Structure 1
């Protein structure tokens, strides 16, 4: 049937290339200039980002502008950040070519497609790049903007690649671009971004090639990641996060036992 998922040709294997990296640097430099012209950015801790190897960044997710905000410290330290995005975007005319050329990572449902996403992420990390992923999986629904209950994708990616995991928290870009809304340019908004130290989660689970992890291990690691991001965000906001974590499925803040 025309246009069905079964009739679509699989995407080619995506990996960083010299041409794609050069194009990325040009586009990224232009985006960086526009960002700084519109927003007042305070960046802390970028020296904690690895310079000699690829890594994974985890962050809170407040607005559609987050990809630029979170990528900023990565890009200015000389590493090219890649994002996970819906596979359908990689098939769109124009945009799809750009995403494929820049070696961003398509995500589709199904065990085979999920494995391809991990393989692409591994290519990025092996090439010295950074993969940015949001443990929440989507924009936070927390009424006060704190990280909400997460999904296990970030934990799976970290364990599959064995790459260092760096938490980054940010606050303020949601004032410029509220979720699902139009930009609010004036007055000029202030954005704070803080980079944390690489996470050590060996007390929870060891990353081993080919190992299968239990659901409880993945959930515990996801919570650990979100706790690290929340701690950075508390420092940025100058206040303590409420107990527990908002669960969008129940509409309530829950405390794990």
Structure 2
């Protein structure tokens, strides 16, 4: 595993070899992102707000988002495209192993994550190397799964995103989103046939009819000043700051639904544990 001793300091970030806007986005990814934006527009009403400084446009960064539903990645792609960039996603290996979709996602430059395996460290190294080389932003979910929290607030999550940012010496931009959970039901852990797919398709068609609001907010970079990749406990402290920033940006988006979503998805599992990040 790569070991970088890089500090993030308030007010500035270590420079990279590329400071101009990224222009090497694969054509396939640009094409798919354009199609995605059209699909999101058909499904609902996308509203994007941003506190992202202009100085960070075109620079490598980690985008850390809350995970609320199976459709929210499509919403995030459209929101990022609206702001003018196409991030690389850290994607579970199962999706990259799928026929047709897997090779397409791989060709787009997305990063493979083998959960629970020794090779998971390779995903960390690839992400750090890409970011330090001045590549496109990397988007990841610190929670690692769709939230099981009863009120759909962010779960505790894991430190992987924080460790990547500290090792690469790049800023973390928190993304808070709300509404995408209404587009498609959670469904099942895996989709093995028509019986699993049909409820998802039916819920999407209802969204096309009802057009829910998809609200996405890009926050100001998280202050990771004083934290380093090699200091014990700093990854945990960075993770806590990231999650609080995400939850803080989420609160205004769901101000009229503070305790739980009005939209009821009967298929979404919950574990009864309250989010530690609720404002």
Q: Give unmatched runs, 5+ long, in structure 1.
A: 1-15, 243-247
- Structure 2 residue aligned with 1:37: 42
1:146 equivalent in alignment to 2:168: no
Cα 1:101–1:226 change in 2 (3 A) is same
- Structure 2 residue aligned with 1:188: 211
Do 2:52 and 2:220's aligned partners in 1 also have CA atoms closer than 8 Å?
A: no
- Structure 2 residue aligned with 1:12: none
Identify which of 92, 96, 103 aligns with 1:86. 92
**Deviations 1:195-234 (CA, angstroms, capped at 9, x unpaired):** 100111114x224xxx3x43x3322222211110010011
RMSD: 2.8
Do 2:60 and 2:136's aligned partners in 1 also have CA atoms closer than 8 Å?
A: yes
1:155 equivalent in alignment to 2:159: no
- Structure 2 residue aligned with 1:230: 247
SS state at 2:228 partner: coil
1:252 equivalent in alignment to 2:252: no
Deviation at 1:73, TM superposition (A): 2.7
Do 2:68 and 2:181's aligned partners in 1 also have CA atoms closer than 8 Å?
A: yes
SS state at 1:170 partner: strand
Deviates further, 57-66 or 185-194: 185-194
**Deviations 1:33-76 (CA, angstroms, capped at 9, x unpaired):** 12112211111116547223111101111001111222223223
Poorly superposed stretches of 4+, deviation over 6 Å:
none
Alignment of 1:93-132 (within 5 A): 93-109=99-115, 113-125=119-131, 126-132=133-139
- Structure 2 residue aligned with 1:133: 140
Q: Give unmatched runs, 5+ long, in structure 2.
A: 1-21, 188-199, 260-268
Provide the rounded CA distance (Å) in 2 between the counterparts of 1:53 and 1:90: 26
Question: Which of structures 1 and 2 has the larger relative contact order (alpha carbons within 8 angstroms, sep 6+)?
Answer: 2
- Structure 2 residue aligned with 1:197: 220
Cα 1:57–1:217 change in 2 (3 A) is same
Cα 1:206–1:35 change in 2 (3 A) is same
SS state at 1:253 partner: coil
